[in-house]
């Protein structure tokens, strides 16, 4: 299959998805508070959010919590509070199937962490929500986030270029700065600051602390669930950045209009391998760039160490090997 066939194949998948008539909620300019768009029972809104930052085990945590809470379906992230807020609460709530309610309602949404707009909108809409942040060695996390963005066609640049041209990479590493803002907005008692190292070393203890915080009865992890934390080590660069980027944009267009069967059909088709991965493997950033990042982020790590009363010395210098 060559690139010229991509639009034709996507069209075929759209028809196979039996989309029917598209239903779009019109934008209502001048209505800043989502609660003014439609009356909604507060009990139908999420009571907790895992806000990231990205690449801190959010996909794993989503899988673990999905059997014990009500999370969006069929996709992990709605991107409502940072990207699709103009679509209104009615659009947002279509991601939650009332017939499948099991425990409290929540969302695992790592892109919200460094988004002032998302935090402000959440404060207006769900002011009593509980917020969970998970912090990881910031340099390792930035490298992992870069690989994800590059693999999925979000950015075309080298790692060094991306550090300059993609603000999210560094902004999402300002842990203490954003943690304080979440605490100011929702109250310190409603914000849980967790450590990714705990998730890797003691997943049962990590999950116990999360479910205690959100009000879910403790449960035992299966042995198979303890080693499924997703990371970027196996990711590769795309064969064609433009092909991957085009497919991602089309996929997100379908998802934003709740045409989920189309995206599911795409993921199950041979097209997925055609547009995702298959390129050169990622290499470790040059040591001088890593060293510079550790220096830049050290003040945030030092302050987080004090706030949490945790020894984070392994996050302050590159580790041998």
Mean pLDDT, residues 123-147: 97
Report CA-CA distances (Å) from 44 to 64, 98, 106, 278, 320. Answer: 21, 9, 10, 42, 49
Name the packing angle between helices 260-268 and 241-256 (round to 10°).
150
Report the run of H or E that residue 159 belongs to, with start and end. Answer: helix 159-165
Could you tell me which residue, 105 or 43, shows the higher pLDDT? 105
Provide the mean pLDDT of the chain.
83
**Per-residue pLDDT band at 18 (split at 50, 70, 90):** very low
Q: What is the pLDDT of residue 13?
A: 38
Q: What is the pLDDT of residue 244?
A: 77
Cβ neighbours of residue 135 under 8 Å, at least 6 residues apart?
A: 53, 56, 175, 193, 194, 195, 196, 304
Q: What percent of the chain has pLDDT over 70?
A: 79
Determine the Cα–Cα distance for residues 86 and 81; give it in Å rounded to an integer.
9
Q: What is the pLDDT of residue 102?
A: 73
**Per-residue pLDDT band at 17 (split at 50, 70, 90):** very low
Name the packing angle between helices 287-308 and 175-186 (round to 10°).
30
**Per-residue pLDDT band at 259 (split at 50, 70, 90):** confident
Verify cis geometry, omega within 30 degrees of 0, for the bond prior to 74. Answer: yes
Q: What is the pLDDT of residue 275?
A: 66
Lowest mean pLDDT among 94-98, 170-174, 241-245: 241-245
**Per-residue pLDDT band at 92 (split at 50, 70, 90):** very high
| Under 8 Å between Cβ of 60 and 228 | yes
Could you tell me which residue, 3 or 158, shows the higher pLDDT? 158
Mean pLDDT, residues 251-258: 76
| Under 8 Å between Cβ of 36 and 90 | no
Encoded tokens for 24: 């779009």
Determine the Cα–Cα distance for residues 140 and 20; give it in Å rounded to an integer.
44
Could you tell me which residue, 103 or 200, shows the higher pLDDT? 200
Mean pLDDT, residues 82-102: 86
Q: What is the pLDDT of residue 267?
A: 64
- The reported pTM is 0.82
Determine the Cα–Cα distance for residues 125 and 37; give it in Å rounded to an integer.
11
Residue that is written with structure tokens 């547009």 in the block? 275
5 pLDDT higher than 50: no
31 pLDDT higher than 90: no
Determine the Cα–Cα distance for residues 56 and 136; give it in Å rounded to an integer.
6
H helix intervals, 187-286: 196-201, 203-214, 241-256, 260-268, 271-275
Could you tell me which residue, 101 or 234, shows the higher pLDDT? 234
Q: What is the pLDDT of residue 228?
A: 62
pLDDT by residue (tens digit) across 164-202?
999 999 999 999 999 999 999 999 999 999 999 999 999
Domain spanning 3-20+40-315: which superfamily? P-loop containing nucleotide triphosphate hydrolases (3.40.50.300)
| Under 8 Å between Cβ of 112 and 82 | yes
The number of C-alpha atoms within 13 Å of 137 and in the hemisphere containing its C-beta is 16
Q: Which of 43-47, 51-55, 149-153 has the highest mean pLDDT?
A: 51-55
């Amino acid at each position: 299959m060559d690139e010229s066939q991509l639009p034709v194949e996507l069209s075929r998948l759209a028809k196979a998805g039996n989309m029917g008539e598209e239903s779009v909620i019109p934008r209502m300019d001048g209505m800043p508070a989502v609660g003014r768009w439609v009356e909604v029972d507060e009990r139908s809104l999420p009571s907790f959010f895992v806000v990231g930052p990205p690449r801190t085990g959010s996909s794993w945590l989503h899988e673990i919590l999905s059997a014990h809470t009500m999370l969006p379906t069929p996709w992990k992230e709605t991107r409502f509070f940072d990207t699709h807020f103009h679509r209104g609460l009615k659009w947002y709530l279509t991601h939650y199937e009332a017939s499948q309610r099991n425990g409290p309602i929540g969302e695992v949404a790592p892109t919200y962490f460094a988004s002032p707009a998302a935090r402000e909108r959440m404060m207006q809409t769900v002011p009593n929500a509980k917020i969970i942040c998970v912090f990881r060695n910031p340099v390792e996390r930035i490298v992992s986030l870069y690989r994800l963005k590059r693999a999925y066609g979000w950015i075309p640049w080298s790692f060094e270029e991306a550090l300059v041209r993609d603000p999210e990479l560094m902004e999402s590493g300002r842990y203490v700065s954003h943690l304080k803002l979440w605490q100011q907005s929702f109250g310190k008692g409603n914000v849980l600051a967790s450590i990714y190292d705990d998730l890797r070393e003691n997943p049962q203890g990590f999950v116990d602390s999360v479910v205690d915080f959100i009000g879910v009865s403790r449960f035992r992890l299966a042995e198979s669930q303890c080693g499924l934390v997703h990371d970027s080590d196996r990711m590769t660069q795309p064969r064609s950045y433009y092909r991957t980027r085009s497919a991602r944009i089309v996929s997100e267009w379908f998802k934003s209009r709740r045409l989920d069967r189309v995206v599911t059909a795409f993921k199950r088709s041979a097209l997925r391998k055609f547009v995702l991965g298959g390129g050169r493997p990622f290499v470790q950033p040059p040591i001088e760039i890593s060293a510079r990042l550790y220096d830049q982020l050290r003040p945030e790590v030092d302050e987080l160490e004090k706030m949490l009363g945790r020894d984070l010395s392994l996050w302050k210098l590159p580790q041998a090997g």
